[in-house]
Structure 1
Amino acid sequence: MLPNISAVILIILLSSRTTVQQTPTQCGEKKATRNYMIIGGTDTKPGAWPWHTALFTKKGQTMKYVCGGTLIGTEFVLTAAHCIINVETGSELPPERIAVRLGIYDLNDLSTQQECDIRTIYKPGDFTSDGTKNDIAILKLRQSANLNSYVQPACLGTFSSLTGTYGTVVGWGMTEGYKLTSKLKSAVMPVVSSSTCINSNPDVFGQTLDRTMLCAGYTNGTSVCNGDSGGGLFFKVGNAWYLGGIVSFAAQRDDGSNLCSSESYGAFTNVGAYLSWILEKTGLRLSSTQQPTQAPSTVSHSSGGNVDCGPGCRDFNCHVDRRCVSNVAHRTAVHYPHRDCTKYYTCKERSNVICEFDCPAGLHFNRNRNVCDWSWSAGCTS
């Protein structure tokens, strides 16, 4: 029997017609004057993620938010297949029961929104109703998006591997107090290997992870949660933002509340694994200049280490450290500042081993919040 999994939705991608070839100047660029982003699961700003969209279900005059998504081009939206399933009946929702709002930052403020109805829904034929396999669907809009400062498409591309890189996830998920936030939030998180993910929770991830999935996040409270479903995992390459993953599910809390666990990695649909299918259904053609030419921000590996620290740590100057002794009994990792603002230490969960990591390029370690942050916000300059 499949373990309890908290569904968290996927991404909505708009794509252009076959006659259009996107270039880096046509996708993945923020047009708003002020494009601030705050690391660590806090509020973004209007226009900071202009490709992120909100998916609603319609019943009479009532609309209910259910998922996030990502705009690609002007006509199509990519989302999780489980987002279009009626949770009461288990059947697929018809297109007329779904609407997408573009350009939205605050779910309670519709001043910059564009509302679009759905014409057609595409999903893989072998999608599993529990949402753990082939959890992806394409929604064709009835009207094209009007691109402006608040509505822009994200890029699609191929990556040889995203493991060890940092992406940014955005969504209207639950806060630390398990209340759904109305304002869009973002958080930077690393993509971890399948073995690291499975070892962290074999009951949940051991039955579900394969090449069509990515695993990302931390086990210290920074993770995806209910309401984040449909939110994208984005990677910056040059000046453009690419969609690499779609939030699919996370482990549930142990209290039977059907809420996500903040101490669990999140599972994402690997967009690259479905790229050919997406291009076939949408007619989008990627020009050669749209393919990423450099890897996303990656954790810098340090050589050495005098103990076998296990997957995800052994290559990062790991060693036994007295600061981590008390962490042997803890289920979550603990972070400590480094004398170099661009680095930080992490005591592994249930371990007396410490590892040395680099923050992503351009970020400094915020010693008050214990996360990598923009240098102007981190308050660390040494």
Structure 2
Amino acid sequence: MISHPSYSKTTGINNIGMVKTYQPFVYSSTVKNINLGVSTLDGGYKMTVFGWGTGELDPIDPFIVLRMITYTSMTNIECSNDFVPKKCIDNGQLCGLRARDKGVCVGDSGGGVVYRNRIHGVIGIVPSEANATEECADGRPVVFARVYTYYDWIYETLKT
């Protein structure tokens, strides 16, 4: 695992990493590559979020079924204002909003945020993984790593 060198566990800034494999992937009808997003997503876009996790609200065993759910993207200002106390959301972060009782939870970290068949975000640490007193799917925005802003780091890291 290669973590971003400026990752901050305290703030969640630069919460992105890559996994180095020693064997190339074997592509098939169920294993495919996905292109990186080529722009930022502001508010109002319907994004599909994928993850292997589970939570108290959905008792299916984790890591068995890949799940997906739709989130609506938010501007960083809207997202920041939805947190109490107010949370600083930077350009490397992408926010999504979903109604209560459905959403990313334990085990979803690392899952993709997809819009128009391109990956625009990666699920970071979800609330209940970071703080046992926080609930998943509590109606607050979820903050993802915005892949577009990490192009340079991704490509430089792939060269090494």
- Which bin holds the TM-score, normalised by the shorter protein? 0.7 to 0.9
Tell me which moved more, 270-279 or 220-229: 220-229
Deviation at 1:222, TM superposition (A): 3.0
**Counterpart mapping for 1:336-355 below 5 A:** none
- Alignment deviations for residues 230-284 of structure 1 (CA, whole Å, 9 cap, x no partner): 1100011xxxx110001114445xxx5454243222110000010111112214x
Which of residues 124, 130, 137 in structure 2 aligns to 1:248? 124
2:145 maps to 269
CA distance, structure 1, for counterparts of residue 11 and residue 20 of structure 2: 21
**Counterpart mapping for 1:94-113 below 5 A:** none
- Alignment deviations for residues 114-143 of structure 1 (CA, whole Å, 9 cap, x no partner): xxxxxxx43332212347011111222111
Gaps of 5+ in 1: 1-120, 284-382
- CA distance 1:145–1:216, change in 2 (3 Å): same
Secondary structure of 1:279 counterpart: helix
CA distance, structure 1, for counterparts of residue 79 and residue 14 of structure 2: 19
- Alignment deviations for residues 20-65 of structure 1 (CA, whole Å, 9 cap, x no partner): xxxxxxxxxxxxxxxxxxxxxxxxxxxxxxxxxxxxxxxxxxxxxx
1:158 maps to 38
1:194 maps to 76
1:171 paired to 2:51: yes
2:97 maps to 217
Larger Rg: 1
- Identity across matched positions, percent: 24
1:74 maps to none
Q: Please give the TM-score of this superposition, normalised by the length of structure 1.
A: 0.37
Secondary structure of 2:95 counterpart: strand
Q: CA RMSD in A?
A: 2.4
- CA distance 1:222–1:185, change in 2 (3 Å): same
Secondary structure of 1:161 counterpart: coil
Alignment length (residue pairs): 155
- The structure with the largest strand share of the pair is 1
Secondary structure of 2:124 counterpart: strand
CA distance, structure 1, for counterparts of residue 150 and residue 16 of structure 2: 9
Q: Is the Cα contact below 8 Å between 1:225 and 1:262 reproduced in 2?
A: no
2:111 maps to 231
- CA distance 1:251–1:123, change in 2 (3 Å): closer
Q: Please give the TM-score of this superposition, normalised by the length of structure 2.
A: 0.83
